[in-house]
Amino acid sequence: MANLGEIVEKVRSKNAGPFWLTIDIFCGTAPAFAQVCEGLSTERVANIFAVEAKTLKRFEIPSLNVVKFSLPRPVIQGSVADRDMHGASWAALLSEVELN
Amino acid sequence: MRVTGSKWVQSDRYTVKLEGAVVAGYQSVLIALLRDKRYVEKAQAWADDIKEKCTRKVVDRLGILADEFEIELRLIGKNASFGPLETRTNDPHEIGILAIVTAKTQDLATEIAQILNPYLLHHPLTSEEEQPTFAFPFSPADMARGAVYSFCLNHVLELSDPMDAFSLEVLTHG
């Protein structure tokens, strides 16, 4: 079983304003795109970031072989508990998940 | 613990201990976090490359010499405690970057830290890959630490009379 990061070209994350994070999965090929769409449920992603699945927005863009998730930042950017001002590390956590 | 048997041993000479410190520069520090597997594995090469490129940029842009400032990147989780003396080679999943800039004034240290900032945020291991981003726990990322001191005097002064090195001035008020 392979990790997401080993299957796709690139996973990256960043802030989308201070209240949202967005994570882009560049799958690279149509088969990899299909594998991610089938093997990575919204619930799993929500679990990884300890947020409710219904708060996630999922975008599948076949013309670009991209899957994208946006979610409310568990900690608002710049607040005392924020560990990652630009939301940069979230991609690393997602890219280590094993696909179903 | 109980200590007994101590003796007072009279010295045949009278000495005064002298200690002194001098301002060795001013510092600004930054902290960044590597969590991407590839960057964690190659953190030392990444840090060495940043130090070299950023030092060159500071020299070019500010017109100062490379020996007028110092950029040090300590890899927390890898070798921040002992540097080259570290013997353990563990396999961390994240590494903290403690960046320490030392320069002749606080303004200069802060300016150099701000030139270093985008390297810590975005420096890629190779020029072919997409620009990465790393986690900064603070914003603004650079923190002024003020003066750093070093010992400049650690000496024992021998006096034939205890007051030879000192003068007393007695003022009477009221």
pLDDT tens-place string over residues B105-124: 999 999 999 999 999 999 99
Which residues of chain B have a CB within 8 Å of the CB of A8?
A: none
Measured at the alpha carbon of residue A64, what is the angle toward residues A60 and A66, in degrees to the nearest 5?
Answer: 40
- Interface contact A83-B36, CB threshold 8 A: no
Binned at pLDDT 50, 70 and 90, residue B90 comes out as confident
A-B CB pairs within 8 A amount to 42
Q: Check CB contact of B124 with chain A, cutoff 8 Å.
A: no
Which residues of chain A have a CB within 8 Å of the CB of B132?
A: 12, 88
Taking 80 as the threshold, does the pLDDT of residue B171 lie above it?
yes
Read off the tokens for B69: 């400032």
**Percent of chain B, pLDDT > 70?**
100
Taking 90 as the threshold, does the pLDDT of residue B174 lie above it?
no
Q: What is the pTM of this model?
A: 0.83
B61, part of any domain: yes
CA distance B74 to chain A (A): 19
B30, part of any domain: yes
CATH of the domain at B132: 3.30.70.600
B4, part of any domain: no
Q: Check CB contact of B29 with chain A, cutoff 8 Å.
A: no
Best B136, B142, B143 member to test A by mutation, with max A CBs in 10 Å, is B136
B99, part of any domain: yes
Q: Which helix (H) or strand (E) holds B33?
A: strand B14-34
Assign 3-state DSSP to chain B and report helix, strand, coil percentages, each to 5. 30, 30, 40
Count of domains for chain B: 1
Please report the ipTM that was assigned to this predicted complex: 0.80
The whole domain housing B40 covers 22-81+91-159
- Interface contact B37-A92, CB threshold 8 A: yes
B15, part of any domain: no
Read off the tokens for A22: 């967005």
B98, part of any domain: yes
B171, part of any domain: no
Taking 90 as the threshold, does the pLDDT of residue B2 lie above it?
yes
Taking 80 as the threshold, does the pLDDT of residue A73 lie above it?
yes
The whole domain housing A20 covers 2-99
B123, part of any domain: yes
Look up residue B81 and give its DSSP letter. T
